[in-house]
Chains A and B, each alone.
Chain A
Amino acid sequence: MLETVLDWVLRGVVIAFGAGALIALARWVRAAIRERRERWAIRLALGMLLLAIVYAVGHARLLWNAEEITEGRMAWRRWGDPREAERNRGEVRGWILDCTGEDGRALARYGLREGEVQRIFPLGEAGANLIGGGTGAEDRDYTVERLFASHLRRPLTFGEQSELHAVGTDLRLTICAEPTREAWRLLSATGMNGAVIVQDVQTGALVAYAATGRAEDPPFGIKRYAPPGSVFKLAVAALWWENDIPDTRMPCPPYIQTGNARIRNFESHEYASITIPTGMLTVSCNTAAVRMALEMRQRLGAEAFRDAWQRFGFVTYSAGPPSASEDEFWNTGNPAWARRMTPPPVRVRFAPRFTAHEWGQIAIGQGPVDVTPLAISRFLQAIGNNGVMLPPTLEWEQLERRGEGRRIMKATTSRKLQEAMLTVVDSGTAQVAKARFAGTGWDLGGKTGTADVANAPRPDGWFAGLMYGPDGRARYTVVVYMQRGGQGGRAPAAIAGEMTRFMSRHPQITTPGSGESDVPQRSTALAGEGRR
């Protein structure tokens, strides 16, 4: 404490020297000009003053460009950076705590390893893609450990400010260690690349995140685009219900002729008659989805699609694909995180003059539609939250600043979608998941997706769903994306089922969605601010 005060006094003295020198210089120049002293001396003195100004501006320029310079420095870190090495080895950062806030479950902490106190990431590879540690930790510039460095280094107390190695401040995340570990276990058992995301429906908090991916790849579940396949049919169904078009029966032929091309069902399945939209979702009928889309274009006009996509948080484009990310995607207090980890926008190429075939491709998520697993999770969160979309949250203390959210669909639409999703697991394409959580009292609804990728031997597999607690309330979203993972109704659906079972068997985990009292409630002062 006393040392901190001394430090500030010394800083004050240094500044006083500068101020005194400035006053003396100003006086000298004034006197020299007034007294008409030697011109060369005045010129040289003014030159010196100019250099002092140049220095001040030049120094400020480095501070202004600090981020860019640090990035450049980091690019060369591999060839040795004793400062980083010393700092990393000597500093005591704050711990990264999981949703429980318990030291024993910390996601990043200190511990003894080989006789030396080291930074430990107990999740290991499970947390490598988000928290830090694991293989390639040095090269991953997007982890919590890296992007929240200034928070973790912020001196814990006023007294710590003067310390050479100030002990940093802890950061509590909404991520829970156990579900994340389980998600990783399930994902890595498949041996495929992919991501598993669990998000709290009521708060938008990210509860579990596990993803594969090399250090040099963009974070798999957050920033990597993938075709959504049939998962996108949820948006088509939502549009149907949003416009109060009544449910109707329709055949599900094995293919549909759209102009000169055909769009087929997966493995050319066919059903004599299904109720749309629920039946279309349950059996994931491509041909019915295409017919729905064409019918809606005729009845509502193309603009209705554009409006709906934009309301759902998707960006439509007609010329070049948009690259600008959504400004307030995350509910975060950390600009570095927002800047680096905001996913690229879900984008749908849209032109009113699209051919029937192009229109149909979008309806089944195979056309020019690009999504990220996290963006799909956010869409599902809105479905589970009666149509109100909340920004994903990673920092525990940000939960109270989550705002009221943004209504993207009617409550009736979200209810109908939920019912349809439950049917998908109960009797549709995701039945494989059902056995996994049977007897737990929990339920799972969702939509499978199988997206063909050009030149790939196998399609990408998706399961995007909602977990329901014993009270029937939607608790968590669960998004499983597996690159070249094959049918969404197989491994991805099975993983979602396993995750549901896991969540149901660990009620002791204080997740943001578990209804425990220490989950920060939304601040009333911020309630009127909308999303943030």
Chain B
Amino acid sequence: MAISRIFRRRPRPAAAGPEGVTVRIKPHNLPSEQRAGRVVPGMLWWGLLLAAAFYVAAHFAIATGVWPLHGTSPGAGGTFMRDGVALVAWIAVLVALRRLGYRGSWAIVVLPILIFCMTRPTQFQIFTDPAYQATGSARARANDLKATRARLSSIERVYSEERKQVVYQGNPPELPDPFERAVEQETRSRGFFARLGAHFSVALAPFALLLGFLLSREPGVMRWVRDRRLIPFVPTLGLFFVLTIGFTELGKVGGMTPWELFLPIFIVIWAATLAEDAYNLARPGAVMEPRRLLNLFLYGAAPVIPFLIIRELGLSIVLAGSLAAMLLVGTRRGWWAGLMLVVWAALVVAAFNVDERSATRLELAYDPYKNPAEMTEAEQERWAAKLHQMKLFDANVIQGGVLGEGPGRGHAETAPNAADDGFITAIATHWGWAGAVSLVLLYTLFVVQLLSAAARESGAFERTLVTGVAMLIGIPFWLAALGGIRLIPLTGVATAFAAHGGAKLLASSLAVGLAAGVSHRRAREEIMDEALAPPPAEPHAKGIRIV
């Protein structure tokens, strides 16, 4: 309970005044209207405690149950430490928020931590697997050694001496270690900065959230962005274009995908644009003015173009979808939604007709298991290469069944990109249908809470900004989750807090921090409004009735 006290209201020293009896009221005895926003609500508090315990226990179960059998990847110990630091950092951020007098919605701060705690053990298992990050022959070799080690360990663990004798017919062979081969390959394949970035983004994410909060809790910074939005926008967009056109190879820059870091900036700027002009954008006649059309193109459409250049259709959907939802909420006009739906549908049809990769993804989602007997050899080879990832995602889901295989169990790591594109399938392997649906519900609750925070805002800027954040987090989640189980084509977007992706984690934490700051400001304003409200009028006699 000592930890619990950190999050509760600290007793304040008695104010100087006339002597008397000091009455200290425990936070849970405060009337709800005074308590609101100052302490973590009970359900969230217990959820947080449970999540932290789950996080530690699941890591422990993987380290003791999976590592000895499969061996580990290079730097697995470091990953273990890093995850420990990340947990401490998240808790520290909550303490810091409490100390900073946070009064906004605790749900939008605590729920991502819950999601992080629930999903990180799966990521931990995948990234400490000796073969997951290796490629080519090194991966195959590491897989071989891993399997051999697992079999020998199991036999040693369970078989009787008599049966071991039947198996070995003498002395048992030596237990191989897949670690060394994987270290060698891993060190060669990934650059220093890529490894550093991947490692530190997890531990830095909590501080990104804090930074976002600090930036938006006072109106000054946001006001500056609103007033001078071209200053941050032009260099950001310029850098974005330069990177995508000049330095991108297969969607990556130096082995990293920094694109997500741009998104919160575009969201803030778009919110500022809408806040300024929402009234006119709500009128079809006014929209057609050249200056307005230019604004729509510059701030609303131009940021999507680089994604299309590098054929990042998933991220373009995320950004365009977020901007569209913000437009809808900012203007409160349904016809915008209709128009955007038409445009979106046209784009989708065009993408599937023009872009071969999109058409393939569509086929992979709805008709993956074609009959190889009806294909030529060349066609078989081509389709097998495309099907490879999807069939392993399916295997992940099926193996997990209803209740899953348990922490780190079930070989989810054999699927390429199981930690990002297929994160939901990895969750399904470890925790089954029940676990995946639990995560979906938790995530839904998180996005709904963000929307709820947005709805509480009265200012157009804040309202659209928080809606944008909600969509920035919600859309990728649904794209990845529904894509993982083949309800829609895979888009390859990363999911915040639940899947691998350092840039995504940092960007999302920052965005949540911004939303938390806005929510905090709103709560503070409500309290001030309440304090400044005129006292209720004294009841007074309106007249005398003489009977």
**Interface residue ranges, B against A (CB under 8 Å):** 43, 47, 50-51, 53-54, 57-58, 61, 64-66, 69-70, 114, 118, 143-144, 146-148, 150-155, 157-159, 162-163, 166-170, 173, 325, 328-329, 332, 368-369, 371-372, 380-381, 384-385, 387-388, 391-392, 394-395, 397-398, 401-404, 406-409, 411, 414-415, 428, 431-442, 444-445, 447-449, 451-452, 454-455, 470, 474, 478, 481-482, 485-487
Q: Are B151's CB and A73's CB within 8 A?
A: no
Residues of A within 8 Å of B439, CB to CB, are: 17-18
Residue A63 at the B interface, CB < 8 A?
yes
Pick from A10, A28, A54, A160: contact of B54, CB under 8 Å: A10
A327 beta carbon closer than 8 Å to chain B: no
In the complex, are the beta carbons of B433 and A63 less than 8 A apart? yes
Q: Is the CB of A117 within 8 A of B151?
A: yes
A residues at B contact (CB < 8 Å): 3, 6-7, 9-11, 13-22, 24-25, 28, 32, 37-38, 40-41, 44-45, 48-49, 51-52, 54-56, 58-63, 66, 69-73, 75-76, 78-83, 85-87, 89-92, 103-104, 106, 109-112, 115-117, 156, 160-167
Given contacts A40-B332, A81-B392, A167-B158, 19 further A-B contacts (CB under 8 A): A6-B57, A7-B409, A10-B406, A17-B118, A18-B438, A28-B448, A40-B455, A45-B452, A59-B433, A59-B437, A59-B485, A73-B369, A89-B144, A103-B162, A111-B169, A116-B148, A116-B173, A117-B167, A163-B157
With A7-B407, A73-B391, A116-B173 as known contacts, state yes or no: A58 contacts B487, CB within 8 Å. yes
Q: Is the CB of A25 within 8 A of B388?
A: no
Say which residue of A41, A85, A92 sits within 8 Å of B143 (CB atoms). Answer: A85
Residues of chain A lying within 8 A (CB to CB) of residue B444: 21, 25, 48-49, 51-52
Q: Which of B148, B150, B470, B478 has the most CB of A within 10 A?
A: B150
Q: Which 10 A-B pairs have the closest CB atoms?
A: A18-B438, A72-B369, A79-B384, A89-B147, A90-B147, A41-B455, A90-B150, A21-B441, A7-B406, A38-B455
The answer to whether A164 touches B442 (Cβ under 8 A) is: no
Say yes or no: A48-B397 contact (C-beta < 8 A), given A17-B118, A89-B148: no
> Which of B61, B442, B445: most chain A Cβ within 10 A?
B445
Nearest-neighbour CB distance to chain B for A224, whole angstroms, equals: 20
How distant is the Cα of A81 from the Cα of B146 in the complex, in angstroms? 16
Contact among A17, A19, A73 for B395, CB-based, below 8 A: A73
Bound together, the chains give a CA A90 to CA B404 distance in angstroms of: 19
CB distance from A201 to the nearest CB of B (A): 33
Identify the closest chain B residue to A29 (Cβ). B448
Partner of B448, one of A6, A20, A45, A87: A45
* Residue numbers in B under 8 Å from A166 (CB-CB): 154
Would you give the shortest CB distance from B128 to chain A, in whole angstroms?
13
Of A55, A63, A72, chain B has the most CB atoms within 10 Å of the CB of A55
Interface of chain A, helix or strand or loop or mixed? Answer: helix
B43 cross-chain contacts in A, Cβ below 8 A: 20, 24
Q: Are A11 and B166 in contact (CB under 8 A)?
A: no
B373 CB, nearest partner CB in chain A, Å: 8
A59 and B448 in contact (CB under 8 A), knowing A11-B406, A18-B438, A82-B414?
no
Residue of B nearest to A9 (CB): B57
23 pairs, A vs B, C-beta closer than 8 Å: A3-B65, A11-B403, A13-B54, A15-B434, A18-B435, A18-B442, A19-B438, A21-B441, A21-B445, A32-B452, A40-B455, A48-B444, A48-B448, A51-B482, A55-B482, A58-B486, A58-B487, A59-B436, A83-B411, A117-B155, A163-B154, A164-B69, A164-B408
On whether A48 and B437 interact (CB within 8 A), knowing A89-B148, A116-B148, the answer reads: no
In the bound assembly, the distance between CA atoms of A165 and B411 in angstroms comes to 10
Expressed in whole angstroms, the minimum distance between the Cβ of A475 and any Cβ of chain B is: 30
Q: Inside 8 A of A9's CB, which chain B residues have their CB? A: 57
Contact B474 A48 (CB under 8 A): yes
Contact call B61/A3, Cβ cutoff below 8 A:
yes
| A83 lies within 8 A of B414 (CB) | yes
Give chain B nearest CB distance to A228 CB in angstroms: 32
CB <8 Å contact, B61 and A10:
yes
Rounded to whole angstroms, the CA-CA distance of A106 and B167 in the bound complex is 11
Write the nearest CB–CB distance from B92 to chain A, whole angstroms.
23
CA distance A460 to B428 in the complex (A): 53
Question: Is B431 in contact with A112, judged by CB distance below 8 angstroms?
Answer: no
Q: A75-B369, A111-B167, A112-B167 are in contact. Are A41 and B173 (CB under 8 A)?
A: no
A28 to B268, CA, bound (A): 27
Q: How far is the CA of A45 from the CA of B454 in the complex (A)?
A: 12
A109 to chain B: closest CB distance in Å? 7
Contact A14 B434, beta carbon cutoff 8 Å: yes
Q: Which residues of A contact B47 (CB under 8 A)?
A: 17, 20
The interface residues of chain B lying within 8 Å CB-to-CB of A15 are 434-435, 438
Nearest B residue to A38, CB-CB: B455
Chain A residues with CB below 8 A from B407, complex form:
7, 10
Q: Is B158 touching A160 in the complex (CB atoms < 8 A)?
A: yes
Contact (Cβ within 8 A) B328 A40: yes
Complex: chain B residue closest to A88, CB-CB: B147
Contact A162 B409 (CB under 8 A): yes
- Specify which chain B residues have a CB less than 8 angstroms from the CB of A37 in the assembled complex: 452, 455
**Is B437 within 8 A of A6, CB to CB?**
no
* A79 to B51 CA separation, bound complex (whole angstroms): 41
A28 x B406 contact (CB < 8 A): no
Partner of A164, one of B65, B397, B455, B487: B65
- Please, which residues of chain A bring their CB within 8 A of the CB of B150? 90-91, 164-165
Please tell me if the beta carbons of B487 and A41 are within 8 angstroms of each other in the complex.
no
Residues of A close to B325: CB separation below 8 A: 44
Given A11-B404, A60-B433: A117 and B398 interface contact (C-beta under 8 Å): no
Q: With a CB–CB cut-off of 8 A, which chain B residues contact A75?
A: 369, 371-372
CA distance A504 to B414 in the complex (A): 52
| Contact yes or no, A21 B438, CB < 8 A | yes
Please, which residue of chain A has its CB at the minimum distance from the CB of B394? A69
Chain A residue with the shortest CB-CB distance to B152: A117
What's the nearest-Cβ distance from chain A to residue B137, in Å?
13
CA distance A207 to B403 in the complex (A): 39
Complex Cα distance A17/B470, Å?
Answer: 21
A59 CA to B433 CA, complexed, in Å: 7
Chain B residues near A106 (CB-CB < 8 A) = 166
Which residues of chain A come closer than 8 Å to B433, judged between CB atoms? 56, 59-60, 63
Whether A164 contacts B380 in the complex (CB less than 8 A), given A21-B442, A116-B148, comes out as: no
A73 to B167, CA, bound (A): 32
Taking a contact as CB atoms under 8 Å apart, the answer to whether B154 and A70 are in contact is no
Q: How far is the CA of A76 from the CA of B449 in the complex (A)?
A: 44
When C-beta atoms are compared, the residue in chain B nearest to A162 turns out to be B406
Please indicate the chain B residues that have their CB under 8 angstroms from the CB of A81 in the complex: 391-392
Tell me which residues across on chain B come within 8 A of A60, comparing CB atoms: 433
Q: Closest A-chain residue to B396, C-beta based?
A: A83
Chain A min CB distance to B263 (Å): 19
> Once the chains are docked, how many angstroms separate the CA of A461 from the CA of B169?
43
CA distance A10 to B431 in the complex (A): 9
| Contact call A41/B452, Cβ cutoff below 8 A | yes
Please name the residue on chain A nearest to B164 by beta carbon.
A110
When the two chains form their complex, are residues B438 and A54 in contact, meaning their CB atoms are under 8 A apart? Answer: no
CB-nearest residue of chain B to A120: B167
Residue of A nearest to B60 (CB): A6
Chain B residues with CB below 8 A from A17, complex form: 47, 50-51, 114, 118, 438-439, 441-442
Tell me which residues across on chain A come within 8 A of B478, comparing CB atoms: 51
Chain A residues whose CB sits within 8 angstroms of the CB of B51 once the complex forms: 17
